[in-house]
């Protein structure tokens, strides 16, 4: 696969936008409650997607027949992951959050083995160990003594839950039920193109996002402190980190394949560290570099396949 300038741009822009999303989520702490931020993000994204993907909603019976699957995908992908990510940013830094999220392949292997009968290869297991080592370095803040007496901040748990939820989301997309495969799957010419599919997922995800936000308000969350920066942040996370990033990532994966895309996804912590240092004054620490190396090394090892050797006959 040749890495063209177009493909390079398609796979680099989403990690940059997602890094910005983590930094914005941290900056909004005290300005917008995290669950409400997620609800507003996807509500605005829905309004933007409606003119592009509205045909996917007709006829509604086509969606009603598939609602359990669509609800599960919307819950894991829109309602759960982003809400927990914003909640994690209340007590953890953007760099910590994105580094832990980079361990996604580890949880993909675990969910695939436990729930989808996908047996991992030995090098994938070894790669998973390295990836988990990187997560431990982040949680221990680079100190063996801290690891022995570690006291988790709530954000560490929330982002781990978010990553596991996203692993389920990814497997649900990869192993859909029969009514979402083959000839039974709704077609792009029927409105189920990228915008239509994302719109349908978002609508179901909004149900969960609304429930989480209502629970947050019932628990006594502070009101939104409206300002021009808050409005700009909402526009960014809905248009940039949601629609633009998802669209570019889908095109990049289609052109370059998931294996190549996996390497680019790990640019997110790098971009997050740079943005956090310049915008929030949260400079990366040496242990962040070690965690990044372990996680990327684990992913590279898990994707490595030995070349078949020609045996003379």
Asked, as a colleague might, if the bond just before 59 is cis with ω within 30 of 0, I would say yes
> Above pLDDT 70, what percent of the chain?
79
Residue 21: C-alpha distances to residues 94, 98, 245 (Å):
9, 10, 10
Average pLDDT of span 30-49: 95
DSSP structural state of residue 237: I
C-beta neighbour count of 41 within 10 angstroms: 29
Is a pLDDT exceeding 90 seen at residue 226? yes
H or E element: which one contains 56? none
Q: Are 63 and 70 spatial neighbours (Cβ–Cβ below 8 Å)?
A: yes
Place of tokens 């669950």: 35
| Chain centre distance of CA 275 | 18
pLDDT score at 224: 93
- Of 291, 302, 306, 269, residue with least CA distance to 108: 302
Of residues 140 and 206, which shows the higher confidence score? 206
Is a pLDDT exceeding 70 seen at residue 44? yes
Report d(CA 210, CA 18) in Å as an integer. 22
pLDDT score at 289: 72
Is a pLDDT exceeding 50 seen at residue 97? yes
pLDDT score at 285: 67
Report d(CA 124, CA 282) in Å as an integer. 33
Q: What is the pLDDT of residues 50-81, one digit of tens each?
A: 999 999 998 888 898 899 999 998 998 888 88
Mean pLDDT, the chain, integer: 81
With bands split at pLDDT 50, 70 and 90, how would you rate the model's confidence at 107?
A: confident
Q: What is the pLDDT of residues 186-204, one digit of tens each?
A: 888 888 888 898 999 999 9
Report d(CA 148, CA 297) in Å as an integer. 24
> Above pLDDT 90, what percent of the chain?
31
Report d(CA 281, CA 43) in Å as an integer. 31
Residue 268: C-alpha distances to residues 28, 184, 273 (Å):
19, 36, 9
| Chain centre distance of CA 277 | 22
Place of tokens 């209502």: 214
């Amino acid at each position: 696969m040749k890495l063209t300038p177009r493909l390079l741009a398609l796979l680099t822009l989403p990690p940059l936008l997602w890094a910005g999303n983590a930094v914005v989520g941290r900056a909004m702490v005290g300005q917008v409650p995290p669950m409400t931020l997620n609800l507003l993000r996807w509500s605005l994204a829905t309004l933007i997607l409606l003119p592009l993907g509205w045909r996917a909603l007709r006829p509604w019976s086509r969606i009603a027949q598939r609602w359990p699957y669509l609800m599960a995908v919307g819950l894991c992908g829109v309602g759960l992951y982003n809400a927990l990510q914003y909640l994690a940013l209340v007590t953890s830094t953007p760099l910590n959050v994105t580094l832990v999220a980079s361990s996604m392949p580890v949880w993909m292997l675990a969910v695939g083995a436990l729930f989808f009968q996908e047996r991992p290869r030995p090098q994938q297991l070894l790669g998973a160990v390295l990836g988990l080592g990187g997560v431990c370095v982040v949680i221990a803040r680079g100190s063996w003594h801290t690891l022995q007496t570690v006291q988790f901040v709530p954000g560490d748990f929330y982002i781990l839950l978010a990553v596991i939820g996203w692993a389920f989301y990814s497997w649900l997309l990869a192993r859909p039920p029969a009514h979402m495969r083959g000839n039974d799957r709704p077609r792009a010419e029927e409105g189920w193109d990228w915008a239509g599919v994302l719109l349908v997922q978002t609508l179901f995800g909004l149900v969960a996002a609304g429930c989480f936000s209502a629970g947050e308000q019932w628990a006594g969350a502070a009101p939104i402190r409206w300002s021009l920066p808050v409005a700009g942040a909402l526009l960014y996370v809905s248009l940039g980190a949601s629609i633009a990033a998802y669209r570019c990532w889908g095109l990049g994966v289609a052109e370059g394949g998931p294996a190549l895309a996996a390497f680019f996804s790990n640019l997110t912590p790098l971009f997050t560290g740079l943005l956090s240092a310049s915008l929030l004054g949260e400079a990366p620490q040496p242990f962040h570099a070690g965690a990044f190396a372990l996680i990327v090394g684990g992913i590279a090892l898990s994707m490595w396949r030995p070349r078949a050797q020609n045996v003379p006959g």
